[in-house]
Structure formats: C-alpha cells, structure tokens
Chains A and B, each alone.
Chain A
C-alpha cells in the first residue's frame, strides 16, 4: 500500500547499471560496477562504504563531474535527464539548478580570491537572469538561511576569513541557491569537528525537510548515517552489497560485510537519554578489556607541569598551550581528546621534546627534558616509541620496511650485528601481525593499515616504556582501525608500556584509555577516569562534545537528538 503510493512520485535520481573505469598510468582500474540505486524527493539515501569502495565516484558520476580519465557506462538520470554521455552545456544547465553538490573539504572548495557573496550570486546568475544587485541580495538571504550570523557583512568576506564550518555553510548556500530537487553531499562533515558536524547535519536536515529535496549522502561514518538517512546502500569494491531502510541495515544487517563493518565501528557508550534502557541488537564489543582503573602506581613516565607554548612572535602569535599539566603513569593509557586547535597534538609534541615549552617543565622518566643534552637526552628518548597520524608521511618511502623498523636499533643498539638486527625486525613485525617477509618491501606497496602497523613495529622495536600515539588510526577505515587498536592493546598487555593516546574520536578513547584528559583552546578542560569523565562529565563543554557524537543506532540517535532539542541532556 505504501509501496504504490511511493511509486507515483518520480525519482529525482535514478542510477541503473552504472559502471566507471579509470584509465591510469598502470592500466585501467574499474571503480564502480553495476550500481543501481534511486533517490525520491524528500528522502535521504546514504551511500556508505570504506575508502576505495567507489561511493564518491558514484556521487561525481551523478553530477557528470568525473575526472577526465574516467569512463562511465550505464544510465544516470537526474529528474529525467540522462547524465552519462551528456554534453558539457547540457550538464551545466543541470548542475546548480536541478542537482547540487556539497564537498568534503570546505578549506579548498571555495575560490580563495572571490568574496563568498559573489560566489553564491554567481550560482544564482548561472541559471536565472536576475540583475547583479538582485543576485547579491539573494546571496545575503541564502547566507541567512544557512545560519551565518551578520550575513550582510559576511557576504563580503573572503573564504579564508571564515571558519571551516562557516565555509561549509557557504558551500551549502551555493548548493541550495536555485532550490535544486537533488542535493548530493560527499562526506560533508568529515573534515569538521563533531560539534560543527552536528550543526551542519541539523542544517542539511532542515533544508531538505523544508523543500522536499532528495539527498544523496556519501559517508563512511555510521553515526552520521544513523543521524540523517532514511535509506542506506552499502558499497564494497565498487558494488552495492546491501540496501534498505536505515533501521533495517544498521540494526539487522544481512550481508556479511555490513555486519563486519558495523561490528568494527567504535561505539560511544552514553547514558541513555530516556529512562528506559535502549535494547542494542548489535552491541559493539569493546576492543579492549580495559585494565581495572586501579590507580597505577610508581613514578610518572611523563609529566607536563604548567606548560605554555606560543607559536610565532608579535601580534600574530598564537597561544597554543596555556598552563597545561598532565601525567602518564607506568602501564596506563591516557587519552588526550579535544577538537582541532585544542592543542592536544602540541601537548604530545611537547612531551616528545619536539616543541620546547615557553613556560613550565616536562619530565620524562623522572628527568627534566629541558635540562638534558646530547647523549643523555638521546638515551632518555630511546625509551619512547612514536606513532603519528599520516600513514604515508610516517615512513620514508626510500627505505624498505625492514630498514624503517631497524632504524631505532641502528641509533641505540649499535653493537647488534646485521643478522641480530634482522632477527629482531622479523620478530617485531610478527608481533604487530605482519608477515616477516614484508621487511623487504617498500612502504608504497603497503596499505594504510599495514603502514601504521610498521610504524608501530618501529616504535616498539626497542621495547619502550612509553608509546606516544597521535591520532594513529584516524586516517584509517574502521575495520583497519580495529585491527591496529587491537594490536596496540595486545602488545601493551605483553610489554607493559604506558601510552599517551591523542585522538579526536571519543568512542575510540573511551574503549582504549583508562584516564582521559579533555582539552579545549590550549587548556585542560577536565580530566579523570575515562568512564566517569565521559559518562558524567563535569563541564558543559565536555557534555556538549559528547552529545554531538552521533551513535550508529538510528533509534537511539533519534532519541538523543530529540532530547538535545528539548534540552534534556543526560
């Protein structure tokens, strides 16, 4: 009955048997195969999958925006117009009027030299013959609609003068300028902090509901899906493996891949907003059985006392850290969380001696880092292992994996013979669950997850007393992230090192750390045992931060959203 009713409404987007192949230096690469899907007016279809699944390629194909080395086949029709094979002129009439797009990177999506008002007005005038003044007025109105304060003044701002969230609002204003029937959003909140993400999702939801616009939402984030989508299509290796309503797919996944994917998603444990407890069908197993928060004892492995850091001089200087104090004790894992610009990475770099503090002291293994020099300092630092965020930049592409891992041995265990070194490298590679044969390969031949495990192997080859991990998994897909986190946890159990774990992902930190330090604008906002701090935060900021994280359960997420709207935060 419902089915027949829906059939009457023509689909705004219809994709049938879409195939896309990229021609590259090394031959043709199929990116999308036999994909069929549709979006009805007023509904949101989420296209989810991990990197390389082809989800963004589908979105670009729907706009006719595929790069020049791509070949598309099949049928994509937007409001009845066939897009595959259409000429540029025809596509230009379609884009920005019938279908619009919001992109991932607000930092680069806008022309840096053109005022934002003019960029919005340009989209208006691309499709409607209105005067310049009229288009400028409309631009201001659109800025107001997307929630930019003081739109008259902001219209004459350059993109660099706006924050990331505001820039994304401008891109959205451009997208809705001609009230399109279809809005394609390609990872629209991935580059944003969670609190900003929540605002942008609210905005998109409201706009779509107001105008009956169909939305194709491309994302890797299951929380965003649960928060926003009506229906879901899951992609794997260029194909759609499962699709259905959001409740059906997220709560009762049928395909084995979808089940695996959902299982790997780290879930933030939150206090239910409503009195009755919410049944959770697919309970995310915590990655780590956390050691009981029996206060770890012994002398601090690393201790920051009243540390301040300033970058730059004169009026342009930035106070990156202000009076930051934190301690990591032997064997414990401390999670350092905060949004971008909170200073969490800077704090980790201070602990590593990479950034010299302007005020305060840093002690490593009981010795003041600022006072040690030369050989003594190097010996002190040899007790530290480091894993940084970027899997590509973390390994020197000119060295083999074996050489990368052996580097700390060459620095601090000079006496080892080549054979002993090889044996040690092979052993530690196996410990991070990589085959020892990998030692002869180049980093470029490895996947992101493998590279991060190589970094981990390098960090652990000297059996350090402290591991500093700065967003070690945030560039990775969730399934890969899970493996890396498991390896770290397992080795921590065996080797007993302490860990300073920097992350923006509260769910990961909740599962991984015994204590958590929340940072905000260069200062420590609050700190305490993970479960206490993240379940019953003391400060309003932390509460807001937690409330903004969408959980990958549509029923529960809906209740949280309702609760947030009515102000009944837990």
Chain B
C-alpha cells in the first residue's frame, strides 16, 4: 500500500538531455550509424561537385566497362559512370526515404494520438482500420499500384507514406494512452483544464521522444521500401534512377559477372538502412522509450 519511493542512486542531478546524449554516444553502433548517414549525405550531395559525371545522356562508346581508369567503378549498359550514378541515385533514395518516413510518422502520429486520446468507440473503429491496413502486405499494394499507374517522385513519396503509417500509429496510440492517465494530466483535467491544453502542453511534448524514435525506424524502412519500388516496376523513370533502380537494372548483368553494377548500390542500401536502424536503437535506449525491438 505504502509505495516507498524506489530511488536509484545517482551521483549528481544531470539534465535529462545530457544524460540521453551520454547514453547515445556510449552506444558504439549508434554512433557508427550516425557517421555512416553523414558520410552518405556528403557523398550524394557534395560528391557530385568533386566528381562530375553525365547522368542524363547515354554514351554508347563507354558501355559495360569494368572498374578502373577514368571510371572508378566502371560503367553500366548505357555508358553511365557507376560511381557518379551511385551519388545520383542516392539523392533520390535518401530524399524519398526521408520524406516518406517522415510523412508516415506524421500521419501515424495524428491518427494514433487521436484514437488514443479519444478512446471509446472512435478508438475501436480507428484501430480496426489500422488492423485492416496491417493485414494487407505493403508490397502487394505497391504491386497493384504499379499495375495501375507510374507515379512521379512526389506521388511515390505519398504512396510510400500511405502504406507505412500503421506501425507508428500503434506506437503513438499506446504512448498517448499511458500519458493521458498520468497524474499531471488528471490533475489538469480535475482543475478545469481543456482537452486541447492537455494535448498541447503535456501529451505531445512528452511523446516527442517516442515519435522521434519511430520516425528514425520509419526512415530506415522507407529507404528499404524505395529499394523494392523499382523491382516492382514502380520506380522513377530513366534517365533518373535510385539505388533500387540500379540494383534491379543490374540483376541480369550480375549473372554474367558484372558485379560492379549491383554490389555498390546493394552495399549502399544495406549500409544506410543499417545506419538508421542503429541510430533508432541508440535513440530508443537513450530516451528510454518503448519502440519496436
């Protein structure tokens, strides 16, 4: 009955964010992940300034060259320089991934927070819709969409956002449910505070860490999903490309030994997705919030 305060001994009171920062920097994988993301951003956005290549015109005199010489990573079947193309495709992959991940998190946050705070039948209906959405595999929807239309980059971001907001919505709903029964929210409500105030001043600010962690994982998933999009026939159209497009274009070439067409984009995808996952893991432990395992 008497809940004696369980105190964990701490040497000194440390501001919250500094403790989080310290925990994050101690996670070696997370720090490595952050470094990888920064390096790839530099590579894709600053790289082309230092290593300039023509990625819009085909050059049929320079097709299928192996790595070496003036083309460090060789060329593809229409004569694009592979290293330059890796930078060029990375821009699309990372921009679309980031935008779609953020969009999914925003939709998921609004949906989940509304359902969790409202509770009752509205919550039940909204969560059944989420269940239904989760029941339809994203790849199947993307393939159906690809059978209907070929979207542009903005359309792609919207489609990817629309198929991946479900998981963050469940996380945010769970967080909202916990927060709305916190003593400080009850106190606010009992002394005449409005719902709007409870949401604005307490629930949203306190969900920020959960949302940031969810967004990080969501970006990782979205970049991975972008890699599937070309494979499913939904990708950006040539001469534009992304890492997934390079990978699926190089699939058949790989069987005839032209490994340089698939290994660089494949590794790039793996590294960047790993990096975002590691950052998410580190942030989750640093903020001490729940998120996916």
Q: Chain A residues in contact with chain B, CB under 8 A?
A: 22, 24-29, 31, 51-52, 104, 187, 190-194, 220-221, 339-340, 349, 352-354, 377-382, 384-386, 388-399, 404, 407-408, 411-412, 442, 444-445, 448, 455, 458-459, 462, 468, 474-477, 504-505
Contact = CB atoms under 8 A, between A and B. Distances in A.
B10 A393 contact: no
Contact of A380 (B23, B184, B192): B192
Given A381-B190, A407-B188, A458-B187, A339 B1 contact: yes
A25 B23 contact: yes
Nearest to A377: B192
A376 B41 CA distance: 55
19 contacts: A24-B11, A25-B14, A51-B7, A52-B9, A194-B1, A385-B191, A388-B183, A388-B186, A389-B3, A392-B5, A393-B182, A394-B187, A398-B205, A398-B206, A408-B191, A411-B193, A459-B187, A475-B2, A476-B5
B190 A394 contact: no
A475 B182 CA distance: 16
A134 to B, nearest CB: 38
Nearest to A473: B2
B132 interface: no
Interface residues of B, number: 36
A31 B9 contact: yes
Overall SS of chain B's interface: loop
A190 B4 contact: yes
Contact of A394 (B1, B19, B184, B206): B184
Interface string B16-35: 10010011000000000000
Contact of A391 (B5, B15, B194, B202): B5
A409 to B, nearest CB: 11
Contact of B191 (A340, A382, A504): A382
B13 interface: yes
B11 A475 contact: no
Contacts of B187: 386, 388, 394, 455, 458-459
Interface in B192-222: 192-194, 197, 201-202, 205-206
Nearest to A461: B191
B5 to A, nearest CB: 5
A389 B3 CA distance: 9
B292 interface: no
Contacts of B202: 396
B240 interface: no
Given A52-B9, A393-B183, A398-B206, A412 B3 contact: no
Given A25-B10, A26-B10, A444-B13, A475 B191 contact: no
Contacts of A475: 2-5
Contact of B201 (A190, A377, A407): A407
A223 to B, nearest CB: 12
B189 interface: yes
B67 to A, nearest CB: 47
Contacts of A190: 1-2, 4
A350 to B, nearest CB: 11
A70 to B, nearest CB: 10
A25 B22 contact: yes
Contacts of B183: 388-390, 393-394
B18 to A, nearest CB: 10
Interface of B: 1-16, 19, 22-23, 182-184, 186-194, 197, 201-202, 205-206
A24 B19 CA distance: 11
A354 B193 CA distance: 12
A177 to B, nearest CB: 28
A303 to B, nearest CB: 17
Given A381-B190, A381-B192, A448 B5 contact: yes
Q: Closest 10 CB pairs between A and B?
A: A381-B192, A378-B192, A352-B190, A27-B11, A29-B9, A393-B183, A26-B11, A388-B183, A445-B13, A394-B183
Contacts of A354: 186, 189-190
A485 B40 CA distance: 60
A392 B5 CA distance: 9
Contacts of A462: 191
A461 to B, nearest CB: 10
Nearest to B203: A396
A378 B194 contact: yes
Contacts of B206: 396, 398
B282 to A, nearest CB: 15
A412 B2 contact: no
A379 B193 CA distance: 10
Given A29-B10, A411-B197, A395 B2 contact: no
A386 B191 contact: yes
A477 B3 CA distance: 10
Contacts of B205: 396, 398
Contacts of A393: 182-184
A412 B186 contact: no
Contact of A193 (B1, B7, B189): B1
Contacts of A408: 191
Contacts of B193: 378, 407, 411
Contacts of B12: 26-27
A389 B190 CA distance: 15
A399 B182 CA distance: 15
Contact of B190 (A51, A339, A386): A386
A450 to B, nearest CB: 12
A194 B201 CA distance: 39
A411 B194 CA distance: 8
Given A393-B182, A398-B206, A458-B187, A29 B11 contact: yes
B3 A474 contact: yes
A192 B3 CA distance: 10
Given A378-B193, A382-B192, A384-B191, 16 more contacts: A25-B14, A26-B10, A29-B9, A31-B9, A51-B7, A190-B2, A339-B1, A379-B192, A391-B5, A392-B5, A393-B183, A394-B183, A396-B205, A455-B187, A459-B191, A477-B4
